[in-house]
Amino acid sequence: MPRNRARSFLREECRILVIGAGGLGCEILSNLALSGFQHVHVIDMDTIDVSNLNRQFLFREKDIGQPKATTAAAFVESRVPGVKITPHVCRIQDMDVTFYMQFHMVICGLDSVEARRWINATLVHMVDEKNPSSLKPLIDGGSEGLKGQARVILPTITSCYECSLDMLPKRTTFPICTIANTPRLPEHCIEWASVLEWPRANPGKKLDNDNPEHVQWVLDTALGRAESFHITGVNWSLTQGVIKNIIPAVASTNAIIAAACTQEAFKIATSTAPYLNNYMMYTGNEGVYTFTFDYERRADCPVCGGDIRSLTLTPQDTLATLVDLLSTLPDMCVFAIY
């Protein structure tokens, strides 16, 4: 793309959606604005907590309790003239296909596997072979402590997020006997509240890790449990970390991964250089190490593989039984009530 045309496209036409306005999202929004992108949307349902301030640099103490999306958008707009950032304070599932179709690409800075799986499946299903503009590149960034990754997903062409689920580390668990009878750590109290007490207090209702009201309930219940056993350290940040299995973020890792994501967005938008093919991993445990490789598609991927999935039901099973199966089986839950 000629230089003048690329500049014009970035400033006047290219529209990017950033999902998440946390540690990665703040860095990505700032980088995009400083790289010349002038039409950006950001979506995030969370509000700012005091624990965010050490690494989410678009926020200040006065912003505690305010929506992340609107606060981040206002801050970047005030610092970079000409940039228009449109915030959306809601879940990504609240938006329909028409909303996602308006963007040229999507960048994820999420801390939720479920949300990544949903947007990945949505973008794959949006692709119409007769309409090339329906293919929306997905740039996914993630960080865990001193480790991170960035990848470029071209729905139906490259491997999708679902193809790589087996790379995810297993969730840290605690012995049931310990959390039920002799808790010793604040994590034990939180796990007790979310795993044992929530089903008893809310039968038939699934705990939503992204729902602030549910997280607050777990926090309040865990605080009561901790007080009974003279345990300290239960707070909002730790509660989110335990129920979402979040590893504490490091600002430098976020900066590196956000820079990689922004660079890929710039390359895709302007065709100035080949984009990542298709997975970059970073580790800073012992220096600075990066490695790039082509993550191949899974032929049996339930999202992009095209294989038929079958379920066995009996004549006595009801529609509720089918819905339960669709929402619990790993290979099916992405498509539940799509």
H or E element that contains 315: none
In angstroms, what is the C-alpha Rg of the chain?
21
CB count in 10 Å sphere of residue 53? 14
Largest CA distance in the chain: 68
DSSP per-residue letters across 15-57: EEEEE--SHHHHHHHHHHHHTT--EEEEE---B--GGGTTT-T
- Tokens 């072979």 -> residue: 129
DSSP code of residue 141: E
Residue 26 annotated among the catalytic residues of the structure = no
Between the alpha carbon of residue 207 and those of residues 55, 78, 113, 197, 210, the distances in Å are: 28, 38, 15, 11, 9
- Asked if residues 140 and 161 have their Cβ atoms less than 8 Å apart, the reply is yes
- Interhelix angle 23-34/251-270, rounded to 10 degrees, is 40
H or E element that contains 58: none
- Asked if residues 283 and 100 have their Cβ atoms less than 8 Å apart, the reply is no
Which residues face 153 on adjacent strands? 138
Catalytic residue among 14, 163, 177, 189: 177
3-state secondary structure at position 179? helix
List the beta strands (DSSP E) in 112-167: 138-144, 147-153
Q: How far apart are CA 43 and CA 66, in angstroms?
A: 14
Q: How far apart are CA 148 and CA 128, in angstroms?
A: 32
Q: How far apart are CA 227 and CA 209, in angstroms?
A: 23
Q: Which residues are catalytic?
A: 177
